[in-house]
Amino acid sequence: MPSKIDHVGILVDDIASNAELFEHLGLKVGAIERVPEYAVEIAFIRVGESLVELVEPVDGGGRIMSDLERADGTALLHHVAFRVDDIGAELTALRRNGVALADAEPRSGAGGARVAFLDREGANGIRIELVERDADVALDH
């Protein structure tokens, strides 16, 4: 069962130029991390106990690049991620309850997390990510 919102993902065309807005708000933007499995670079921003995740497609961007191109802009709200204690058990329970999954097995995510997405169509058009991590993300600069 989700314990909190881990992060809200914002898809951006360029992390550096989009980070400026958050810095003007007085928020610290963490170091950029490459996540090859998703063909993205990510930077986290802590807001209270949750995070904002800036996601920039790289190396062609895979599926995620088409989302940004369809948005016809430089940024768009992309997904909400819920923290779970045991992602494997969560995926098993969701499958058992007939919930369609985009990721049948967890993958490596940013900040040392294990992540999996639900199927967008099966989640009423909302992109939902499950995140299991041992500790909160430390924002290195």
Separation of alpha carbons 125 and 123, rounded Å: 6
- List pLDDT tens digits, range 10-38: 999 999 999 999 999 899 999 999 998 88
Asked if CATH classification 3.40.50.300 holds for the domain at 4-132, the reply, yes or no, is: no
Which residues does 108 contact at the CB level (< 8 Å), separation at least 6? 35, 37, 114, 115
Q: Residue 80 burial (CB < 10 Å; 0-12/13-18/19+)?
A: middle
Average pLDDT, the chain: 89
Per the CB < 8 A criterion, the answer to whether 130 and 118 are in contact is yes
- List pLDDT tens digits, range 33-68: 999 888 899 999 999 889 999 999 998 767 777 777
Per the CB < 8 A criterion, the answer to whether 133 and 111 are in contact is yes
Q: Given a cut of 90, is residue 82 above it in pLDDT?
A: yes
Q: Which two tokens stand for residue 140?
A: 């290195």
Per the CB < 8 A criterion, the answer to whether 42 and 58 are in contact is no
Assessment of whether the complete model's pTM goes beyond 0.75: yes
Question: Domain locations in the chain?
Answer: 4-132
CA distances from 71 to 10, 13, 23, 66, 106 (A): 12, 11, 24, 9, 27
Handedness of CA 77, 133, 40, 66 (dihedral sign): negative
